[in-house]
Amino acid sequence: MQSWQPQTSRLYQTGATLDKTPGRNRPEIAREQQVEQRIHHAGLAGKIMSAEEAATHIQPGMTVGMSGFTGSGYPKAVPLALAGRIEAAQGRGEKFALRVLTGASTAPELDGALAKAGGIDFRLPYQSDPELRARINRGEIDYMDVHLGQVAQYTWFGFLGKIDLAVVEVAGILPDGRLIPSTSIGNNKTWLDLADKVILEVNSTQPLGLDGMHDIYYGTALPPNRQPIPLTQAGDHIGEPYLRVDPAKVVAVVKTHAPDRLGRFTPPDETSQRIAGHLVEFLKHEIRMGRLPENLLPLQSGVGNIANAVLGGLRDGGFSNLTAFTEVIQDGMLDLIRTDTIRMASATALSLSPEGVQEFARNIDHYRERIVLRPQEISNHAELVRRLGCIGINGMVEADLYGNVNSTHVAGTSIINGIGGSGDFARNGFLSCFVTPSTAKNGAISCIVPMVSHVDHTEHDVCIIVTEQGLADLRGLSPKQRARTVIANCAHPDYRPLLQDYFDRACRDSKGKHTPHLLGEALSWHERLVEQGSMRPN
Amino acid sequence: MQSWQPQTSRLYQTGATLDKTPGRNRPEIAREQQVEQRIHHAGLAGKIMSAEEAATHIQPGMTVGMSGFTGSGYPKAVPLALAGRIEAAQGRGEKFALRVLTGASTAPELDGALAKAGGIDFRLPYQSDPELRARINRGEIDYMDVHLGQVAQYTWFGFLGKIDLAVVEVAGILPDGRLIPSTSIGNNKTWLDLADKVILEVNSTQPLGLDGMHDIYYGTALPPNRQPIPLTQAGDHIGEPYLRVDPAKVVAVVKTHAPDRLGRFTPPDETSQRIAGHLVEFLKHEIRMGRLPENLLPLQSGVGNIANAVLGGLRDGGFSNLTAFTEVIQDGMLDLIRTDTIRMASATALSLSPEGVQEFARNIDHYRERIVLRPQEISNHAELVRRLGCIGINGMVEADLYGNVNSTHVAGTSIINGIGGSGDFARNGFLSCFVTPSTAKNGAISCIVPMVSHVDHTEHDVCIIVTEQGLADLRGLSPKQRARTVIANCAHPDYRPLLQDYFDRACRDSKGKHTPHLLGEALSWHERLVEQGSMRPN
């Protein structure tokens, strides 16, 4: 019977008995029991129902706040059941669409399924689902791209309307009704506080060892009643480990058993490693110049291959005693926490590969002492990013000669994912670094262009640009000084002469010579890309 | 003899005697004595010299931090003497140019004289002098446009190099060597702390009643040692009333007698009043909706005619008990403080017309209880702007359909003044409002365009756009939703059909339909302006 024993929380033991329902097999029964063992509040246990039943609480036109941040901690069952309900309604000729607000990107079971069903009218913030993105770029779904650190306060301010319902994944429910958060916190505190109705998904696959790793700050307020946020180190605990919810608002509790659906971790390629090399060399130079302490300042690192390469570069570069104040902990950062290169990391989500999840579960007691998960309004808070002096390292689509950065749009019109938290860190941190390979699509695209086709980070907010070609340090430079170093250090050799030619002619022919441009030609590289599939001239 | 009595500080009386130097007339002697009465530190009194002598401490290639913010509190004599020294050197065929850092804009005696002499190689931040601007736009001077709230920390971080020398105007020097600040604080604390050498100008025309109106916060630090800034209300005093300086660093003290050179206050025109009317109506609506308290939240107001009209509109609209947390107090705001419509205003500078200066001096005790002047790193601090929830109201050059704002450039290439503090408030405040007449140059320019020619505030940071035509509330809207309301509410009727036509065709023909654009046409309005002098089609 040993394998039947439900896993229990460190903190809570219950006397739940085995399910005797006929027709259910033993593993399924065990799974159901494991999750019931996580629901310690009698009133909420009485609201356990199927995802399909729960989804009947969601009506057309509602604004629904959902959990989920970079593919972790999103609800696994209710959105799928909801998509079914929507498809049935559409089949009957009834319109059924929602306003969907999340923490950040989710997964095919949420954004993908709802978008495919035609069930999303409006969506914010960051997303990455192919089906959702395609519909946004066909003009079928209204998408608003908000700084991740500002979604919660915009909701509290009333700028986004009323939150009708929240669907939030948790790892367990305490006897007093408080919730053990899951692998991401995102905007869950805000959705739970503000929604009229709440549906909880209790997921048996999320490790109960997460308990104690979260820090939910309940000290926020609306102006003019705000007080300083008492956090001065990345690892400070300033709140409580559990999410609060009014049990009377909870209309359904749904048991789920599916892990976060996250991709495999791929080792950094050569381009990423070269980018990481330039950045690590630069950080060492800054230490030598006395502008950074030996253990740097809290790192913020965007998601993906280059970010992981940079973290690997720091580990291999002999750094130690580092800290992170960031949004997401991916495998690259987990590895640095494992080896104590990073001694403390603050984030709002764990976004790990299946191997990363195993490693995390295996050494969860080690990680619990070194990881704090917070609401994204805190992980990305202007006050804290400024105070801590974060070093922001974020990917981008393209940069222009003058240091403006496009993080979101292909050729100015199609959204990729969204600005995420890059603006929260670039504007208020100590150092804002933006990284990209110098070209994309086998060289058809130059990621350094005369003028970016969309601006997410202005010339005022960009310190460092890095490609595999080199690093441009834009601090303290005028626009033309920036252009010279960007062309010399970051442009791909295939595009460098073209950029130099544009810049030379702009310096000669531009009406104003503070930020020289040829207005008729500034976006021509993107036009060529759209019309001919390449930025290269004919 | 009554008129000969030197004015004395509230706090300090001295026994200085009359100047008996032969050949000086009585008013001049009185003036000199008035200023000597303000220099209570014996060591510093011993360093009194002429501006010409003081200027010899400034060498070619130096980085010089100067006082001055929106035309107030700038040094009146040393820059002019320096310009003479530079012209003499140039006359001998020697290059003599400097890196000049200030608080914000200064006056012809500083930016104008030095630019005309060819004495500025590099300048930051905000400027407004015609001579300086012309040279920047001819490509002769490198200008860097930095958020006003970030200049001080960039200097402390070492991003702008070493500060060789500071030239700072003060209202007086205490016996212990501390300085009574002048009409602006700007970056003076940072220049005094970090410069190798310091030149002080003690200006007899700045009212000593300023004493006690300043609040210099000495609690800043470099990360990782930063602590929360203990300010929770606009009027909080968190520092000390005087600037500190190491007397050993002071190489010269120069006596000056010229007032800040500021323009007259012109009553708002009809366009400004209509803009103000839309904004005041909107704020009242927000109060009714429960999104703003009756006395609003701390106001930040940019400079100029529209800003003054908005303040007048608030007064006439029956508002009371208001507060301001802003950069500059101009006549419009002074009037609201006089009438107690605003009960407390925090800023970094007083920028008053000659009539405003008189009114200020006349009722200085009233104003001292209601005005706090701070370093600009505090008046514009991300942490405080976010905590207080400022309502930012700033002018702009143009906005585009999707809510991107250009605050700085004509047709993408010529700088006007600079971003100022608009970014500090737009990114982190409660509400970011941008205002402009819908057209400029007698209708030759539409201030609503398909795509802005330069981005200072991204789509992520702009809540409200107001022209005399109306107000567009962009909160919670996708790009296309924003475009519809901007066209309908803000565009001038002459340009509205052209914008609608662009948007319709973009929605039809744009490759991506999230942010629809016709890349070959997006900047064509600006091209026409440059080539034909008007955005109107032929």
Average pLDDT across chain A, whole number: 94
Numbered residues of the known binding site of A for CoA: 417, 421, 441
> Would you say B429 is a known binding-site residue?
no
Q: Give the count of Cβ contacts less than 8 A between chain A and B.
A: 242
CB of A12 within 8 Å of a chain B CB? The answer is: no
Q: Give the tens place of pLDDT for each residue, A306-316.
A: 988 999 999 99
H/E stretch holding A200 reads: strand A197-203
Mean pLDDT for chain B overall: 94
Residue A349 tokens read as 């989500």
Per-residue pLDDT, B264 = 81
Give the Cα separation of B60 and B97 in Å (integer): 5
A-facing residues of B in 351-410 (CB < 8 A) are 381-383, 386-389, 404, 409-410
Average pLDDT in the B8-27 region?
44
A427 in contact with chain B, both atoms CB, cutoff 8 A: yes
Distance from CA of A243 to the nearest CA of B (A): 23
State pLDDT tens for residues A57-66.
999 999 999 9
Q: Using 50, 70 and 90 to split pLDDT, how confident is the model at A95?
A: very high
* Backbone torsions φ then ψ of B515, nearest 5 degrees: -125, 80
Q: Is A25 exposed, middle or buried (0-12, 13-18, 19+ CB in 10 A)?
A: exposed
CA separation for the pair B439, A538 (Å, rounded): 40
In chain A, the N- to C-terminal Cα span, in Å, equals 73
If 0-12 CB within 10 Å is exposed, 13-18 middle and 19+ buried, where does residue B319 land? Answer: buried
Q: Do residue A523 and residue B523 have CB atoms under 8 angstroms apart?
A: yes
In CATH terms, are A48-256 and A270-494 the same topology? Answer: yes
The DSSP element (H or E) to which A136 belongs, if any, is helix A130-137
pLDDT over threshold 70, residue A443: yes
Cβ-based contacts of A147 with chain B (< 8 Å): 460
**Looking at A22-26, B92-96, B223-227, which range is the least confident one?**
A22-26
Lookup result for tokens 């949420």: A110
Whether omega before A223 lies within 30 degrees of 0, making that bond cis, reads no
- Tell me the pTM: 0.95
Q: Could you give the dihedral angle defined by the CA atoms of residues B117, B122, B126 and B127, in that order, rounded to the nearest 10 degrees?
A: 10
**Residue range A337-345: average pLDDT?**
96
Residue B527 touches chain A, beta carbons under 8 Å: yes
Average pLDDT over residues B167-188: 98
Quote the pLDDT of residue B88.
Answer: 97
Cα separation, B104 vs B149, whole angstroms: 11
Whether residue B1 has pLDDT greater than 50? no
Q: Smallest Cβ distance to B382: which of A144, A382, A477?
A: A382
Centroid of chain to Cα A315 = 23
The answer, yes or no, to whether residue A10 has pLDDT greater than 70, is no
Closest residue by Cα to residue A460 from B409, B379, B430, B334: B409
Among B383, B515, B527, whose Cβ lies nearest the Cβ of A519? B527
Per-residue pLDDT, A267: 86
Contact A512 B412 (CB under 8 A): yes
| Tens-place pLDDT, residues B408-465 | 999 999 999 999 999 999 999 999 999 999 999 999 999 999 999 999 999 999 999 9
Q: So what's the pLDDT on residue A405?
A: 98
Q: What pLDDT score does B23 carry?
A: 56
- For chain A, give every domain's residue range: 48-256, 270-494
Look up B52 and say whether it is catalytic: no
Rounded to a whole number, what is the distance in Å from the CA of A270 to chain B's nearest CA? 31
Torsion of CA A214, A215, A218, A223, to 10 degrees: -120
Q: Do B137 and A297 count as a contact with CB atoms less than 8 A apart?
A: no
β-strands A448-449, A414-415: how paired?
Answer: unpaired
Instruction: Chain B: give the shortest CA distance to residue A39, in Å.
Output: 36
Q: Is the pLDDT of residue B466 over 90?
A: yes
User: What pLDDT score does A25 carry?
Assistant: 66
Return the CATH number of A48-256, one of 3.40.1080.10, 3.20.20.70, 2.40.50.1020, 3.40.50.360.
Answer: 3.40.1080.10
Q: How far is CA B154 from CA A483, B325, B428, in A?
A: 21, 22, 19
Mutate to test the interface with A, among B288, B431, B458 (most CBs of A within 10 A): B458
Q: Is B144 on the interface with A (CB under 8 A)?
A: yes
**CA A50/CA A16 separation, integer angstroms:** 20
Across A63-155, where does the E strand assignment appear? 63-66, 98-101, 120-124, 142-143
Could you report the per-residue pLDDT of B251-296, keeping only the tens digit for each?
999 999 999 988 887 888 999 999 999 999 999 999 999 999 999 9
Give B-chain residues touching A382 at CB under 8 angstroms. 382-383, 386, 427-428
Q: CB-based contact (8 Å) between A297 and chain B? A: yes
- Chain segment A367-413, per-residue pLDDT in tens: 999 999 999 999 999 999 999 999 999 999 999 999 999 999 999 99
Q: Summarize the confidence of residues B220-247 as an average pLDDT.
A: 98
> So what's the pLDDT on residue A32?
77
Cβ <8 Å between B478 and A454: no
Share above pLDDT 90 across residues of chain B, in percent, rounded to a whole number: 90
Interchain CB distance below 8 Å, A414 and B526:
no
Q: Are B112 and B131 in contact (CB under 8 A)?
A: yes
Q: Which of B7, B36, B71, B3 is nearest to B357 (CA)?
A: B71
Per-residue confidence at B76, pLDDT binned at 50, 70, 90?
Answer: very high
State residue A192's pLDDT score: 98
Tell me which chain A residues have a C-beta less than 8 angstroms from the C-beta of B157: 291, 430
| Structure confidence by residue, pLDDT tens digits, B201-216 | 999 999 999 999 999 9
Is residue B73 pLDDT above 80, yes or no? Answer: yes
Of A32, A109, A169, A327, catalytic: A327
pLDDT band with cut points at 50, 70 and 90 for residue B8: very low
User: How many other β-carbons are positioned within 10 Å of the β-carbon of residue B344?
Assistant: 19
Could you give the residue ranges of the DSSP H alpha helices within A372-467? 376-379, 382-388, 422-428
Q: How many beta carbons lie within 10 A of that of residue B248, not counting itself?
A: 9
Cβ–Cβ below 8 Å for B475 and A409: no
Q: Do A146 and B460 touch (CB under 8 A)?
A: yes
Q: What is the DSSP letter of B141?
A: S
SS3 of chain A: helix, strand, coil, percent, to 5: 35, 20, 45
What is the secondary structure of B66-135 as a DSSP string? E--BTTBS--SSHHHHHHHHHHHHHHTT----EEEE-SS---IIIIIHHHHTT-EEEEES----HHHHHH
pLDDT at residue B178 is higher than 80: yes
Q: Indicate the residue of B227, B382, B389 with minimum beta-carbon distance to A232.
A: B227
Count CB atoms within 10 A of the CB of residue A481. Answer: 15
Cβ atoms B522, B450 nearer than 8 A: yes
Give the Cα separation of A336 and A301 in Å (integer).
Answer: 13
Which chain B residue has the Cα nearest residue A414?
A: B512
A219 interfacial to chain B (CB closer than 8 Å): no
CATH class of B270-494: alpha beta
Give chain B positions within 8 Å (CB) of A480: 139, 142
Three-class SS of residue B384? Answer: helix
Sheet with strand A322-325: strands edge to edge: A371-373, A342-347, A322-325, A299-301, A391-395, A431-435, A464-467, A470-473
- Give the tens place of pLDDT for each residue, B485-514: 999 999 999 999 999 999 999 999 999 999
- Chain B, 475 to 504: residues with Cβ < 8 Å from chain A are 475-478, 480-481
Q: Which two tokens stand for residue A443?
A: 């060289």
Question: Residues B458, B528: contact at Cβ < 8 Å?
Answer: no
CA separation (Å) from A246 to A192, A517, B256, B332? 8, 57, 67, 48
Confidence of residue A301 (pLDDT cuts 50, 70, 90): very high
Handedness of CA B343, B348, B353, B355 (dihedral sign): positive
Residue B32 confidence (pLDDT): 77
Tell me how far CA of residue B336 lies from CA of A336, B326, B350, in angstroms. 56, 14, 14
pLDDT at B457: 98
Give me the residue from B137, B290, B475 closest to A159, CB to CB: B475
**Closest CB to B414 among A224, A480, A514:** A514
The answer to whether A49 faces chain B, any CB pair under 8 Å, is no
pLDDT at residue A257, rounded to an integer: 95
Nearest to B411 among A290, A419, A511 (CB): A511
In the predicted structure, residue B14 carries a pLDDT above the cut 50 = no
